[in-house]
Structure 1
Amino acid sequence: MMTALLIGLGAAAQGITGMGFGLLCAPVLIESFGAAEGVRQVVLLSLLLNLLFLSREFRLVRPVSALGLLLPALVVTPFLKTVLKQADPRLLLLVAGSLTVGSAGFLAFGLRLPWLRGAVGAGVAGVVSAAMNVAGGLAGPAVALYAVNTSWPPQAVRPTLQCYGALLNTVTLLSLGFPTLHASQLGALVIGSCVGLLTVNRMPRTIAQRVVLALAGAGGVLVMVRALT
């Protein structure tokens, strides 16, 4: 029940802010299904959301920006998969929880790093995003930070993140393999997506993002405690 609820909330958050699904759902899915299967589920569910929301706003995508982030991510994804496959599952839980908490904190404080702009910033963001996606299904935070640092137009942030996420998640799934999804997960995804589409123009994005980050931080802490105990 809790898993389905968080999937619904994550889907709604993704529709409103352009990110948030992985932050909310990765900790509980990894905890429930194990590190490898949990990450695959997060990536596949995220891909379905990327495609759904991108279909509505594809005209606003910044293709050059998305491609600049994607190319370095594609280069390192197969290598990361090989390295992380040999890691201790408890370590992956700890890494996923730590990345969730750290990403939520950085985004909450609106971290800006002027030197992480242009081609260098895109390369760093793409590599970090790919690593976080393979380790914990968290592709969004690194590229969201890059979008903030480079001052993307607000109307382009959500569709460009969806475009980048769709491409990276496809490659990640081809590398990690496809998971088994449950009917309750897909149902929650559909309901949450509908809520996000209906409220995207009604709820202030700043409020929605604060709620997402607070829940994500709490979920990440729980996963870290579980990994350590």
Structure 2
Amino acid sequence: MGLLIVVLASIFVGAVAQRIAGLGFALLISPFLVIILGAHEGVLMVNVCGLVSSLLIMFRVWKDVDWSMYRWLAIPAVAGSIPASIAAVFLPAAPMAVIVGAVVLVALGASLVLARNSVVVKGNTAKAVAGFASGVTNAVAGVGGPAVSAYAVMARWPQRPFAATLQPFFVTIAAVTLAVKLTMDPSQMPPFSFLAWALIAAMIVGGIYAGERLQKHLRDDHVRFAVIVIAFLGAATAMVKGIFDLLG
């Protein structure tokens, strides 16, 4: 019960961040769920929750979605998700925990550097590379946002269509990853009861609702800073735990 409460609290906070900033759900909860549930189950749980939260948000921001951008990101992402999902099924838990922590730390560090960078990228190749990288990192670590976020910063993609377009994008890569992983190894699904799943769904809905209310009173940059700080702490903890497990 104690672990479930921590899982529910993490999911609620992640859903709030996802609604306000368009991303942050996986960055926030992935390291913590890996610590609580184990590497494989934790990442799979992130994919499940990410799919549900993005699906719910998607219909609320539909009019702002850039479908041309979505296609350029999603098709390469699917191409990267399938082989990466297969590889992740066979990756031992301890190295996977280290990878999750490392991916989040590197992604956060890169986002801080890029935020101060004046480089501007153009063209469809950059979109495809960002999409492919996002598909791979989502399959292995449950974190698909940093690659496309880095692209958005360097392409000067406005926040509103960026946040909206990411929702169908996240739905797509989460669905592909879950389909591949559960087909190959159904036992990776966390063994929660029906009541626990219902509470998880309620936390996602409640977090989205709270995020919509808070969005009017909070600045995006403040939310992103809070997401980065929490994610850094979680990623470092997950990475340290994985290293200790590797050392036996």
Q: Please state which band the TM-score falls in when normalised by the shorter chain.
A: over 0.9
Q: Distance in 2 between matches of 1:118 and 1:166?
A: 24
Q: Which runs of 5+ in 2 are unaligned?
A: none
2:73 aligns with 69
Amino acid of the structure 2 residue aligned with 1:106 = A
* C-alpha contact 2:70 2:169 (8 A) present in aligned 1: yes
TM-score norm. by structure 1 comes to: 0.93
Q: Does 1:108 align with 2:123?
A: no
Q: Does 1:11 align with 2:26?
A: no
Q: Does 1:165 align with 2:166?
A: no
Q: 1:88 to 1:218 in 2, by over 3 A?
A: same
1:221 aligns with 236
1:58 aligns with 62
Q: Distance in 1 between matches of 2:92 and 2:118?
A: 33
Which whole-Å deviations, capped at 9, do the CAs of 1:86-115 have from their partners, x for residues lacking one? 222111100000111111222233165847
Q: Distance in 2 between matches of 1:81 and 1:167?
A: 14
* C-alpha contact 1:112 1:145 (8 A) present in aligned 2: no
Larger Rg: 2
The one of 150, 158, 161 equivalent to 1:156 is 161
Q: Distance in 2 between matches of 1:111 and 1:136?
A: 26
Moved more, 20-29 or 181-190: 181-190
Residue 116 (structure 1) shift: 5.0
Amino acid of the structure 2 residue aligned with 1:47 = L
2:137 aligns with 132
Q: 1:73 to 1:171 in 2, by over 3 A?
A: same
Moved more, 197-206 or 105-114: 105-114
2:95 aligns with 91
TM-score norm. by structure 2 comes to: 0.86
* C-alpha contact 1:116 1:122 (8 A) present in aligned 2: no
1:36 aligns with 40
Q: Does 1:199 align with 2:214?
A: yes
Residue 121 (structure 1) shift: 1.1
* C-alpha contact 2:15 2:207 (8 A) present in aligned 1: yes
Amino acid of the structure 1 residue aligned with 2:69 = S
Q: Distance in 2 between matches of 1:215 and 1:104?
A: 11
Which whole-Å deviations, capped at 9, do the CAs of 1:152-210 have from their partners, x for residues lacking one? 12221110111211111111111112734534423322221211111122211110110
The one of 211, 221, 225 equivalent to 2:226 is 211
* C-alpha contact 1:60 1:156 (8 A) present in aligned 2: yes
The root-mean-square deviation of aligned C-alpha atoms, in Å, is 1.7
Q: Which runs of 5+ in 1 are unaligned?
A: none
* C-alpha contact 1:29 1:41 (8 A) present in aligned 2: yes
SS at match of 1:225: helix
Q: How many residues align?
A: 229
